[in-house]
Amino acid sequence: MITLIYKTEVKDDYVTVVAVVEDAQLVYAGSYIDPPEYGPAICEAGFYLGEDEVLPEDEDELIDYLNGLDLDWNVVSDDY
């Protein structure tokens, strides 16, 4: 789930998004007693827009839109 969008870039019909994604990186590997724990991380994902598709301009609506997609988020470096 996205909590904050850092950058959205549209080139032709391809959209690249950099955002804070909850439960994206391993914080604690776990043990025999405790399960692994995951925390938020800055991630990047991209996708193609459909021919008649338009991105929402409002940030909250854009977050809802992106959360509805099945995106493959990749953790980016901490110095972003």
Q: What is the pLDDT at residue 78? A: 64
Say whether pLDDT at 45 is over 60: yes
d(CA 3, CA 76): 16
d(CA 32, CA 44): 32
Whether the model clears a pTM of 0.75, i.e. scores above it, the answer is yes
At 62, the pLDDT band (50, 70, 90 cuts) reads: very high
Say whether pLDDT at 8 is over 80: yes
**Domain ranges for the chain:** 2-75
The first and second tokens of residue 24, run together, are 């994206």
Q: Minimum mean pLDDT among 31-35, 64-68, 75-79: which range?
A: 75-79
d(CA 41, CA 18): 10
Whose CA is closest to 66, among 80, 50, 45, 52?
45
